[in-house]
Structure 1
Amino acid sequence: MFTFETGNMILLTLSPTFQDAKQDAWISFLLAAILGTLIVFVSSKAALLYPGKTLIEYSKLIFGKWLGILIVIVYLIQWYSVIADILREFAEFTITILLPTTPLWVLVLTMLLLLIYITYSGGIEGIGRCSEVFGPIILLSVFILLILSVSIFNYKNFLPVFSDTGFVPILKGTLHPLSFLGESVMMLMLLSFMDQPNKGPKRAVWGIAAASCLVSTVAIWVLLILGPEIASKLRHPAFDAVSYVTVMDFIQNLEILAVLVWLLSVFIKLSLYFFLANYGTAQLLHIKNWRKLIWVTSAFFFVLAVIFPNPTYTYIFDNTIWIYFALPVNMVGIPLLLWFVGSLRKKYQANH
């Protein structure tokens, strides 16, 4: 959960949050952290009602066959669209920062081959073990950048607190980070793969809390270096803030650390979505060997990432569909319904 959330949140949520909440963006991130931990807690509790069963299986037990299938399809649409969107983002960011003359399809294909390898050979356990290695690297990299930046902080950028913005803009600013933290709703699926599912809710909450704290700290760091006005105008303010870090004209060009943080995190995020999309589709279609689906879905994701999402689509997806549909429906509404109706069903079955 920690590795999954960190990179993309740092890269993509800072600028829109600064646009809405200005110098109080850090308050928006803290509010999003509280709400995000509630989402992952509810999702984990809902999944815990039917241990050993995935969302594909217990949604039918809770809501009946057809309504259950409809809920599964809603989540599959989210998983499929997110994979295409992040693959495109990964390729465009890499071209902009590192490899300006590389064709987009080459980068998409490279990442897809890595996803196929880890998902086919390692499955969910392989992704988990990668995460155990990448998580501490991400934490250490961000910590190093924060320590080296202390000398260039401008603490006046913090002021005034609250009075310039007010409650509504701060609340609006929480929507972007919360929509990313809400992706932890995948615990509805992941809990069924745990050896000790009872520990799932606690571990997931700690993971999301740690990721939220780190991203909130990075938001404060960007605020102290760039100020709210500049940060709101840049597409990737965290990455631009790194270029200001220099120690005695000797330690410079630390952007590679920022790229490392993002790449490692995005790889885990894509791997998890890729696994869930294949496993979930196979269960829905009653395909016994879910790995066979990987070759079909990979071709589909490649075409979707290379051809379909242009910048306009990505903007509309991130700022409208994602925030005003996926957040209230996929991340809040359905998990609450699953938990509430599932609990009632369990009580009814226990009494009869």
Structure 2
Amino acid sequence: MNEKIPALKDRLHTRALVPLLILTIVEYEVFTFSKATVAAAKQDAWLSILIGAIIGSFIVYLFIKLTARFPNMSYFQYLPIVWGKPLGFLICCLYLLFWVAFLSSIFYESLLANKMLFLPQTPTIIPLILFALSLIWLVSSGLIPVIRFFQLLLPFLAIPLLILALLFTTSVKIDRFLPVLENGLLPVLKGSYYVLGAYQGPEVLLFAAPFFMKIKQGVKSSLLAYNITIFFGWSNTVAAIGILGVQNLNESVLPGINVVNLVEFPGFPVERFGLLLTLPWLIAIYSTLAIYLYLLCSSTFQLFNLRRRTWLIFIITAIPVTIAYLLPNEAWHEQLRLYLTVVSVPIVYLLPVMTLILAVVRKKGRTT
């Protein structure tokens, strides 16, 4: 790893931010409709998502402003410049720990998807190892090949989800969203916090910025990608509430699968639409694992000044894989997910904003 920043002419156009951010942000939790959000806001969870979209979009805009101050540096390179070396190093270590926990959660979710949807009789360690080996091969190639791979995958994720969003409209019952704001605005705002916590991924901008031409012109692409992911989450949440109802949604293990199985489209030759969700789900899990494993490996080598070694990549990958395999049951996983959702807001959103404010105050980086 320790990937060399390419020459300006070899960098990616900011349009490539769209597949990068969509396939980074969309993962398991978007399809399970963040139970914490629905538990907090109940039938008003759709409104929580819209409020979260406004807040998140503004913060993504600030991310571009931050990267524009350090266009040839990744986030870990300028954190010590802005915060000072000791505190910057501790913040970097905090991100590494967060990524290990996050990767462990998603690896476990890949096991869950495989067990329930694909190969239920296969020992869980086998698909886990196959996933890990293919990911090691992919991320070892560098960030630009990963992004090119995401560009190829994007239609297979986006098109089925758009079709599902249209199909959902035939089965949603409006009365399940009434009364609006029954418990006031506070539960809705609490739900918005959980929405932001469920949308990990925008921080990838801060690490990928040096690989793009004129990153300061990436505002439109970044906001487009972020709000497309919000739309997917919003449409799935509306369908879950409008078809299952709040109580059934909270009791369901995989609400997304349950909702798809209940969708009816009279006269259509296909009766079950499960593939429209399971294929994007698998792609989303794999792509999110790929980008975060890349960040974990490359940032570890950079932070501790290590030379890239294949055996080190295997060891780093083995840490979240082992944690995922040793998680006792789904209850432990849901608790881990809840903790990640809560801490994601300060780590993913607030820390970069504070870094931007501090960089402006201390006049660090470019000012034009």
TM-score (norm 1): 0.90
Cα contact 1:181–1:208 (8 A) shared by 2: no
Cα contact 1:15–1:235 (8 A) shared by 2: no
Matched ranges for 1:115-194 at <5 A = 115-121=135-141, 123-162=142-181, 164-194=182-212
Question: What's the CA shift string for 1:238-293, capped at 9, x where partnerless?
Answer: 22110012333741221122111111111111111001001100101112437663
Q: Which sections of structure 1, spanning at least 5 residues, go unmatched?
A: none
Q: For residues 240 and 198 of structure 1, do their structure 2 counterparts lie closer, same or farther at Cα, with a shift above 3 Å needed?
A: same
Q: For residues 340 and 323 of structure 1, do their structure 2 counterparts lie closer, same or farther at Cα, with a shift above 3 Å needed?
A: same
**Aligned counterpart for 2:123 among listed residues 94, 103, 106:** 103
Matched ranges for 1:24-43 at <5 A = 24-43=44-63
SS at structure 2 position matched to 1:103:
coil
Question: What's the CA shift string for 1:37-81, capped at 9, x where partnerless?
Answer: 233222332232111111221111112211111111011111111
- C-alpha separation in 2, matches of 1:57 and 1:347: 13
2:250 counterpart letter in structure 1: S
Cα contact 1:33–1:181 (8 A) shared by 2: no
Q: For residues 332 and 101 of structure 1, do their structure 2 counterparts lie closer, same or farther at Cα, with a shift above 3 Å needed?
A: same
The residue that corresponds to 1:227 in the other structure is 245
- C-alpha separation in 2, matches of 1:145 and 1:323: 26
- C-alpha separation in 1, matches of 2:233 and 2:109: 19
Aligned residue pair count: 346
SS at structure 2 position matched to 1:294:
helix
Q: 1:318: how far off?
A: 2.0
**Aligned counterpart for 2:354 among listed residues 315, 337, 351:** 337
1:61 and 2:78 correspond: no
Cα contact 1:36–1:182 (8 A) shared by 2: no
SS at structure 2 position matched to 1:46:
helix
Question: What's the CA shift string for 1:13-38, capped at 9, x where partnerless?
Answer: 34332222222110011111112223
Q: Which moved more, 1:270-279 or 1:168-177?
A: 168-177
The residue that corresponds to 1:86 in the other structure is 106
**Aligned counterpart for 1:47 among listed residues 44, 60, 67:** 67
Q: 1:178: how far off?
A: 0.8
1:7 counterpart letter in structure 2: E
- C-alpha separation in 2, matches of 1:114 and 1:183: 21
**Aligned counterpart for 2:281 among listed residues 247, 262, 265:** 262
Cα contact 1:105–1:306 (8 A) shared by 2: yes
The residue that corresponds to 1:301 in the other structure is 320
Cα contact 2:34–2:198 (8 A) shared by 1: no
Q: For residues 335 and 95 of structure 1, do their structure 2 counterparts lie closer, same or farther at Cα, with a shift above 3 Å needed?
A: same
Cα contact 2:40–2:190 (8 A) shared by 1: yes
Q: For residues 104 and 175 of structure 1, do their structure 2 counterparts lie closer, same or farther at Cα, with a shift above 3 Å needed?
A: farther
The residue that corresponds to 1:275 in the other structure is 294
RMSD of aligned residue pairs (Cα, Å): 2.3
Q: 1:208: how far off?
A: 0.7
Q: Which sections of structure 2, spanning at least 5 residues, go unmatched?
A: 1-20
Greater helix share, structure number = 1
Q: For residues 282 and 18 of structure 1, do their structure 2 counterparts lie closer, same or farther at Cα, with a shift above 3 Å needed?
A: same
SS at structure 2 position matched to 1:184:
coil
Question: What's the CA shift string for 1:116-175, capped at 9, x where partnerless?
Answer: 121123x2112212222222222210222233344333222222222x232122122223
The residue that corresponds to 2:336 in the other structure is 317
1:205 counterpart letter in structure 2: L
Cα contact 1:39–1:184 (8 A) shared by 2: no
Of all paired residues, the percent bearing the same amino acid is 24
Q: 1:183: how far off?
A: 3.2
1:207 and 2:225 correspond: yes
Q: For residues 137 and 10 of structure 1, do their structure 2 counterparts lie closer, same or farther at Cα, with a shift above 3 Å needed?
A: same
TM-score (norm 2): 0.86
Q: 1:311: how far off?
A: 3.3
